[in-house]
Structure 1
Amino acid sequence: MDGAEPLGERMARDLHLDEAFEEVMEKRGRADMPPEKELLIWTLILAGTVVLSKTDLPAQALSEVGGDA
């Protein structure tokens, strides 16, 4: 993606996602889901957040759906 910043640990830490993740896991317990599945879900959430906030892909998709291309 042109102009998109790469995902990185620094970005996640700047957003305090590591702290929020640990707090959520402490509150709900880790037994509900295997660690691999938790990691995959949280990675997808982080990537989705970055795509939505740092790119114009959502606006492009809406214009394609609306026929304004």
Structure 2
Amino acid sequence: AVPSVEELAADPVRLRELRQQCKTDRPTMGDVLCNRVAEATNRRFLGDGKVPYTPPKEPPKF
């Protein structure tokens, strides 16, 4: 059974191991699992996507 994105995102150690395996051996690991691993990694990094982007009040000056 392929773990869900939520399960993977909740287990950073396992997620890191699976990311490494997907990098080195994707054909054996399978696209479904590796796509879920990537999605879980994004969720951990970006959050759950519920917080909208709020630009600063002052525009940046270059």
Larger helix proportion of the pair: 1
Instruction: Please say whether Structure 1 and Structure 2 have the same fold, judged by a TM-score greater than 0.5.
Output: no
TM-score with structure 1 setting the length? 0.28
- Select the structure with the greater relative contact order (CA < 8 A; seq sep ≥ 6): 1
Q: What is the TM-score when the length of structure 2 is the normalising length?
A: 0.30
